[in-house]
Amino acid sequence: MKPFHSYRNPALAIDLVVFGYNAKELSVLLLKRNEEPFKGGWTLPGAFIQMDERFSDTCSRILRTKLGMDKLYLEQLYSFDDPARDPRGRAISVAYYALVNPHKLETAASTMAGDVEWVDCRKMPQLGFDHKQIFKTALQRLRSKILYFPVGFELLDEQFTMTELHELYECILDTSLDRRNFRRKILDSEYILPTGMKREGLQNRAPELYVFNKKLKRNNFQLNIPLSKGQ
Amino acid sequence: MKPFHSYRNPALAIDLVVFGYNAKELSVLLLKRNEEPFKGGWTLPGAFIQMDERFSDTCSRILRTKLGMDKLYLEQLYSFDDPARDPRGRAISVAYYALVNPHKLETAASTMAGDVEWVDCRKMPQLGFDHKQIFKTALQRLRSKILYFPVGFELLDEQFTMTELHELYECILDTSLDRRNFRRKILDSEYILPTGMKREGLQNRAPELYVFNKKLKRNNFQLNIPLSKGQ
DNA sequence: TCAAAAGTGTTTGTACTACACCCATGC
DNA sequence: GCATGGGTGTAGTACAAACACTTTTGA
């Protein structure tokens, strides 16, 4: 029997939507292409899958090359199959999304490749291939995921204040949430634990620092979004 | 530039989890293999993707071949990449699941290929490749989907009684739901509409027949599962 | 003492739960 | 008239939404 790869198979690529959060801004890592197709335009970082790689290996390879780090939170998003999505020929893309916390993001600034840049989710430019659609799918997934799964684990530093967590949720969901109801909800869920320490040196009352509860049973976390716009 | 497919690419297959519902039983279409690997064993129906096919084309091809019909509800599930999942060589599988309603299922009995069979979800045998994992993923997806999306559209006949819808939900979720609360919840959501007609010829009071509301705004449907076991 | 954000409760309303009773039909 | 499911109502409760006041800190 002939080995599989001697038949004609579509090319198989991984494309990554890497979300970074910093200073109340959710951004995505984009690649400025310096070769055809879409030379000079923006795309998501991606790579073709090698025969001996698992999806996660390809993801790590892309992340190491472009961001200078791997081992991020990764989740498979969807597989895209439009025959016209790549002008070079038939190519299937298995899209993943990744989350980077602000601390790692700072470090990344020095190790990032020269051809990539963080771009605000709200100011996404035109993207090559079908990457705009992939980006939209990823944002939608992140927004729904955050409502029933403690995603903040991956986007905040180890220690953080209630306000920082609150701002993260408002930013991702692009809405405002009542501060006091949010607080009660989160504390009741045991999603996070107080450390007893406080963040000093602000111009106001020193807020409590929290950490994520690593022993959380993830299935009893459910955040409902109020219709209102907070206070 | 060489065309993509002259590079070595993993083989790319579609595997299908086809759910059928009939007589209070949720079943899946399985294939009895008559060739290696897993000769004599059970697997999900599947096929390799042709260069000019979209995923949905491959799905239709499988469905026509094995079930004698296509144009079912289809949803992409997940892509599986374990290098050892196929003993013949590197093969990626993009899994989809499909839903067939009991009426179509009856028709299907005559057009079904000889090597496939409906198997009760609760009595799933060992499956070849990584198909047991694919099946489990599909069932999990269906169970969570049914809670916030009107999936019954695809699994029941055009007209149906409240009890039939209720049984469908209990069957898929493998739990019991309070009959009266279920009824109120469903009617409040405008998920279904009464036809004014009744199903005659039963040994008891003739129940109202409903149809699905095709103009439903799908986002205001949310079914919560009670912890109790009904009456 | 002022600004700015942190922290704490309370009231109100809605919606889910857990129930029990009557109704229609065929035998 | 009786067995079998179909159809309707209600009290209790839990939780979410809306909202206001006090506390701490640095300038």
Residue B150 lies in a domain: no
Any idea what the Cα angle at residue A37 is, between residues A33 and A38, rounded to 5°? 55
Domain shared by A141 and A172, yes or no: no
pLDDT at B33: 94
Residue A3 lies in a domain: no
Task: Report the percent of chain A where pLDDT is more than 90.
Answer: 71
Q: Strand C closer than 7 Å to the CB of B125?
A: no
* Helix/strand/coil for B165: helix
Domain shared by A100 and A171, yes or no: no
- Interface of A to B at Cβ within 8 Å reads 1, 3-5, 7-12, 48-49, 51-52, 54-55, 76, 78-79, 81-83, 86, 88-92, 94
Instruction: Give residues with Cβ within 8 angstroms of B44, minimum separation 6.
Output: B15, B16, B17, B28, B29, B30, B31, B127, B131, B134, B135
Among B1, B12, B82, the residue with its CB nearest the CB of A10 is: B12
Which of A1, A4, A52 is the best mutation test for B, with the most CBs of B within 10 A? A4
pTM above 0.85, yes or no: yes
Residue A226 lies in a domain: no
Average pLDDT over residues B88-99: 96
Domain shared by A136 and A29, yes or no: yes
Domain shared by A34 and A134, yes or no: yes
* Helix/strand/coil for A34: coil
CA separation (Å) from B221 to A137, B31, B55, B213? 21, 35, 29, 12
- Interface of B to A at Cβ within 8 Å reads 1, 3-5, 7-12, 48-49, 51-52, 54-55, 76, 78-79, 81-83, 86, 88-92, 94
Among A11, A92, A94, the residue with its CB nearest the CB of B7 is: A11
Q: Strand C closer than 7 Å to the CB of A207?
A: yes
Instruction: Give residues with Cβ within 8 angstroms of B8, minimum separation 6.
Output: A5, A51
pLDDT exceeds 70 at position B50:
yes
Q: Strand C: which bases are under 7 Å from protein Cβ?
A: 3-9, 16-20, 23-27
Q: Strand D: which bases are under 7 Å from protein Cβ?
A: 3-10, 16-20, 23-27
CA A216/CA B5 separation, integer angstroms: 46
* Helix/strand/coil for A76: strand
A92 contacts on B by Cβ (under 8 Å): 12, 49, 94
The confidence band for B231, taking pLDDT boundaries of 50, 70 and 90, is: very low
| Cβ–Cβ < 8 Å for B112, B68 | yes
Domain shared by B110 and B178, yes or no: no
A78 contacts on B by Cβ (under 8 Å): 76
Average pLDDT over residues B201-224: 83
Protein CA A231 to sugar C1' D19 (Å)? 8
Domain shared by B58 and B134, yes or no: yes
Q: Which residues pair with B212 in a beta bridge?
A: B192
Q: Where are the beta strands (DSSP E) in chain A?
A: 11-22, 25-32, 42-43, 46-48, 73-80, 91-100, 116-120, 192-198, 208-212
The reply to whether residue B48 touches residue A92, judged by beta carbons under 8 angstroms, is no
CATH of the domain at A176: 1.10.10.10
CA B7/CA B21 separation, integer angstroms: 43
pLDDT exceeds 70 at position A227:
no
Residue B231 lies in a domain: no
Size of interface A-B (CB pairs under 8 A): 86
**Residue bearing tokens 């993707």:** B49
CA A162/CA A179 separation, integer angstroms: 9
Instruction: Give residues with Cβ within 8 angstroms of B160, minimum separation 6.
Output: B209, B210
Average pLDDT over residues A47-62: 96
Among residues B102, B96, B125, the alpha carbon closest in space to that of B30 is found at B125
Structural domain that includes position A178: 157-220
pLDDT at A12: 96
Residue A7 lies in a domain: no
Task: Name the amino acid, one letter, at B127.
Answer: L
Q: What is the pLDDT of residues A90-124, one digit of tens each?
A: 999 999 999 998 777 777 777 888 899 999 999 99
Residue B169 lies in a domain: yes
DSSP letter, residue A127: B
> Total structural domains in chain B?
2
Q: Which residues pair with A46 in a beta bridge?
A: A15
| Cβ–Cβ < 8 Å for B118, B27 | yes
Task: Tell me the Cα Rg of chain B.
Answer: 20
pLDDT exceeds 80 at position B40:
yes
Task: Report the percent of chain B where pLDDT is more than 90.
Answer: 71
Q: Specify which residue's alpha carbon is closest to the C1' of nucleotide C24.
A: B205
The reply to whether residue A10 touches residue B10, judged by beta carbons under 8 angstroms, is no
CA A165/CA A20 separation, integer angstroms: 14
Residue B3 lies in a domain: no
Domain endpoint, select from B121, B145, B169: B145
Among B79, B82, B89, the residue with its CB nearest the CB of A4 is: B89
Instruction: Give residues with Cβ within 8 angstroms of B51, minimum separation 6.
Output: A8, A9, A10, A90, B5
Nearest CA in chain A to B81: A54
Residue A83 lies in a domain: yes
CA A137/CA A156 separation, integer angstroms: 22
DSSP letter, residue B124: -
Domain shared by B112 and B181, yes or no: no
Domain shared by A99 and A32, yes or no: yes
Any idea what the Cα angle at residue A100 is, between residues A120 and A81, rounded to 5°? 75
The reply to whether residue A12 touches residue B10, judged by beta carbons under 8 angstroms, is yes
The reply to whether residue B90 touches residue A51, judged by beta carbons under 8 angstroms, is yes
Token pair for B119: 């198997």
Domain shared by A193 and A126, yes or no: no
